[in-house]
Amino acid sequence: MENLKNYIELSKTQVYRYENLYDDYKTMTLQPSKSKPKFIINAPLNGYTWEEMLFDPYKMFRQELDHIKQHLLLEDDKVLCTRVNFGTAQIAAAFGCDLFFPPNNLPCAKNHILKDINDVYKLEKPSMEAGWYKKLSEFVQFFFDNMPEHIHMQLPDIQSTLNNAHLIRGNDIIFDFFDEPEKLEYFLDFITDYMIDLTNYLNKLIRHEEGWFFDWGALWKGNGRISNCTVHLISPKLYEDFILKRDKRFLEAIKGGRMHYCGAHTEVFTSFLKENFITGLDFDSNLHSLWDICAMLPENVPVLTDTNEHSETIKKLLDGQWPEKKNIILNIYTDSIESGKALLHKLRNSSQ
């Protein structure tokens, strides 16, 4: 087995560049008017299958380091971070849901253990080693035992109160909003409490230094992320009536964090911003206009959007049509390293 501690070795020039890059990311929140757009280029990378990585920490870590090597070659704005990735259903698995393993993909919830909302009061809070969390801690330890210098650990995926509640309860949760609101509120609080305890535990596990956290290739203010994908299934009013206070309580308990939303309802962004409790936001540019979302956001909230090198978003930016907001992070998928390098050069010139 190859010695991964020496798999990546940074020069003094590279170390200095990343120190400045991390300061630049902090400027996006602390002095947003002085910040500049950041570009993360994602080119194709051949490697191990998920079937291999999910059961072999060496292969998962080696693949993570190969991604970092690619970004070192590109000299883009991706931070030097890695994480153990077991997918989005880990809290559901901790509560007892079985996992399904699609071909060459991350596991997802196979069933929903809370089949009757009346059984919500029988739920017991899982341990920090329930489901795959013991396995996750073993993988994290392997990563640290083989970690090259200057590489940081990212928090494992924790999803959100609604995402996790939906996986545990299934689609019947939609009826609960109307038929059993009191029991649903108990359930949502129960999930939120577990998420707070779990996130604090996982942040200690990955040796996180409180205040700023590595996530999705960038550096953000706070200590965790909410992934609110399932909010797409409910109205903004239901979000505000049932979920907003839990999201806010979760982020306040972990001392701040950011929001992910991959749904299509633009109206819900107003709900996310209603109480000014998030430190960052990301969305899919195929579903929302970068310019519209930037106009909605407070100046000190950085925004990240996913796109690809052939998108209308990129075409407009290369044409010089930049939003007034400067603390923007573009997560761009390209056809190759070569086209990614060329695009990075064009975008940096265009954004000046």
Domains of the chain: 4-37+47-308 (3.20.20.210)
Note the pLDDT of residue 3. Answer: 84
Note the pLDDT of residue 190. Answer: 98
User: How does DSSP assign 223-262, residue by residue?
Assistant: S-EEE-GGGGGS-HHHIIIIIHHHHHHHHHHTT--EEE--
Tens digit of each residue's pLDDT, the chain (352 residues): 778 999 999 999 999 999 999 999 999 999 999 999 999 999 999 999 999 999 999 999 999 999 999 999 999 999 999 999 999 999 999 999 999 999 999 999 999 999 999 999 999 999 999 999 999 999 999 999 999 999 999 999 999 999 999 999 999 999 999 999 999 999 999 999 999 999 999 999 999 988 999 999 999 999 999 999 999 999 999 999 999 999 999 999 999 999 999 999 899 999 999 888 999 999 999 999 999 999 999 999 999 999 999 999 999 999 999 999 999 999 999 999 999 999 999 999 999 8
Give the C-alpha separation, 43 to 73, whole Å: 11
First to last CA, the chain: 46
Pairing of strands 258-260, 38-42: unpaired
Which alpha helices (H) appear in the chain, and where do they start and end?
12-30, 50-53, 57-74, 90-94, 133-145, 161-169, 173-179, 181-205, 236-238, 244-253, 268-272, 290-296, 312-318, 337-350
DSSP state of 220: E
Give the C-alpha separation, 154 to 213, whole Å: 7
Q: Whole-model pTM? A: 0.95
Give the C-alpha separation, 117 to 178, whole Å: 12
pLDDT in tens, 202-253: 999 999 988 999 999 999 999 999 999 999 999 999 999 999 999 999 999 9
